[in-house]
Structure 1
Amino acid sequence: MIVVMRSGATDQEIDHMIQQVEELGLKANVLRGTERTVIAAIGDERVNGVQTLESSPGVESVMPVLAPYKLASREAHDATSVVTAGSLSVGGKQVGVMAGPCSVESEEQLMTVAKAVKAAGATALRGGAFKPRTSPYSFQGMKEDGLKLLAAARDETGLAVVTEVIAPDDVDLVGEYADVLQIGARNMQNYRLLEACGRSHRAVLLKRGPSATIDEMLLAAEYILDGGNPNVMLCERGIRTFEAHTRFTLPLATVPYLQQKTHLPVIIDPSHGTGHTSLVPAMAKAAIAAGADGIIVEVHPDPEHAMSDGYQSLRCEQFEEMMQQCRRVAEAVDRTV
């Protein structure tokens, strides 16, 4: 259920309504918009006294939320949320661009990429310090040493840092260095991790699991929102189908569909979504044309010798060329890159 406060409702009226909701045994989540404040009342709405909320001072209306994802739904928050973390801003007119290597491998590698993507127009630096790999024998990342290199690259370039966190116990550590906590596809339904990120003050980039439905992704986001963290971005990175010509199948219809259902900004990952360097620029442009709020792209100075995902990484010069093309597409759909 959501309680829509009138335009111009005072802080005292809003606080009074929060108290009323909590006295009914419901959890009050406050969503402040540019014109109105909405209070999402989470819990069993069959409790006695709910009907009296509408007569309280400053209240415009009380409505049920039909979607199972109460806080992520547009029913609760009609305007698209803008998530800002350092140099990165998504959900507004500018398309956020996160770019960098799959894995942090060395200071030289990371600094080379960071400076190149910044010069090309990226708004955030992505890079993996902790790497969950299918094989236990594959490179697992530099861990905290990698986080320190990412922080140094941010100091050098001013780019916000986006990096993956793979365990609830690591959230505080990663949050010391990163601006955005990435929850990878394999962890989309790691509920203890989702709850830990919900308690964090860092923005979260939530990737769709390769076999997850849209509703399952939105309910995963709900865990983070319900934990008190409103700064959530949804990332479509491709799903597993019978097709084998790409690493995954990248369904771009996800973008407008999600934008109808949720106020959370939508990011597209054309690198994992295709698995082939040659396909990444075309799908990045298509994502922007479809209305994506951001893209996340893998870039490496020497993909042939990358320790992970070199086959889907762009060289620095390829990324620069892609950004030039993306700007033209963005202009055509009234966005900027």
Structure 2
Amino acid sequence: MELLASRKKHPQNTIVNIGKVHFGDGNLTAIAGPCTIESKEQLFAIAEAVKASGADLLRGGAYKPRTSPYTFRGLGPKGLEYLLEAGQKTGLPVVSEIMEIADIPLFKDVDLIQVGAKNMQNYPLLEALGKLDKPVLLKRGSGNTIEELLYSAEYILSNGNPNVILCERGIRTFEPMTRNTFDINAIPLLKELSHLPVVADPSHGTGISSIVTPVTHAAIASGCDGIMVEVHNDPACALCDGQQAVDLNGFAQLMLGAREYEKIRCIYNNPL
């Protein structure tokens, strides 16, 4: 049986449309914002800055599946409220992570629902999201294979929702110097195997803010449809994952390079 996610089943690229933003149409789409929403003031400051630097969507975590139960796990519904306000103010579509089926009604106005790495194989949640008319960003688990990622996408697709975006965000290996090992191979391979758009998350993929920019540019060169970057106005004081967040100026510089790499990629893929 050929998978619904397979390029053999669906030779043409799937384009996921979120308002005026498109994933999979050949252009690079940028998602940016804080790992976790800490306050309305923090979020609004970051939202205005990432929009000015060229972000297409605003991300912000209201619910965070933390390894330790004693760390900050988000503001919950209040965080979503702030995110929607920031989206309306900036005009940016918003992205946030869902953790359980019961919270689906709270996400009715979120433009792109993210399934985090730790929920990639939460099959009841995937099936429930498959019944929605809402795009889903599906992150690869740190211990999961590419095949398992595609089968997880199948749970959403087979329940009627064709708007799935895959996300490579690093895998766990024997290397201890980075948070994860960013699997650059996965991007062109997923593009070959599947018609679904592919987004790169170099923040979780590396865990080190100083190398987020070069890994972002490498992901663009490898053919990703979008990037997802964690941005904070004061990374040293962030309540979650500050070590992998770029600051506002760093994101502006990252985006300047990203658009240049996008141009080069376009020329390479469309020679005269």
TM-score of the superposed pair, with normalisation by structure 2: 0.96
| Structure 1 runs of 4+ with >4 Å offset | none
Residue 150 of structure 2: which of 200, 218, 221 is its match? 218
Letter paired with 1:111: F
2:208 alignment counterpart: 276
Offset of residue 140 of structure 1: 1.3
Aligned length: 267
Matched, 1:130 2:63: yes
2:17 alignment counterpart: 84
1:310 alignment counterpart: 242
1:182 alignment counterpart: 114
Secondary structure at the counterpart of residue 266 of structure 2: coil
Offset of residue 172 of structure 1: 2.3
Matched, 1:118 2:58: no
> Tell me, which stretches of 5 or more residues in structure 2 are unaligned?
268-272
Structure with more relative contact order (C-alpha pairs < 8 Å, separation 6 or more): 2
Matched, 1:240 2:172: yes
Offset of residue 162 of structure 1: 0.5
Contact 1:275 1:311 in 2 (8 A): yes
**Identity percentage over the alignment?**
50
Secondary structure at the counterpart of residue 96 of structure 2: strand
The structure that has the greater radius of gyration is 1
Secondary structure at the counterpart of residue 314 of structure 1: coil
Separation in 2, partners of 1:249, 1:87: 33
Letter paired with 1:127: G
> What are the within-5 Å matches in structure 2 for residues 310-329 of structure 1?
310-329=242-261
Offset of residue 87 of structure 1: 4.3
Matched, 1:167 2:100: yes
Separation in 1, partners of 2:180, 2:39: 29
Separation in 2, partners of 1:307, 1:177: 25
> What are the within-5 Å matches in structure 2 for residues 1-337 of structure 1?
65=1, 67=2, 70-174=3-107, 176-334=108-266
Separation in 1, partners of 2:92, 2:72: 25
Secondary structure at the counterpart of residue 333 of structure 1: helix
Offset of residue 85 of structure 1: 1.3
Letter paired with 2:191: Q
> Tell me, which stretches of 5 or more residues in structure 1 are unaligned?
1-64
Letter paired with 1:157: T
TM-score of the superposed pair, with normalisation by structure 1: 0.78
User: Could you say if the C-alpha distance between residues 232 and 106 of structure 1 is closer, same or farther in structure 2, counting changes exceeding 3 Å?
Assistant: same
Separation in 2, partners of 1:211, 1:327: 31
Secondary structure at the counterpart of residue 229 of structure 2: strand
Offset of residue 128 of structure 1: 0.2
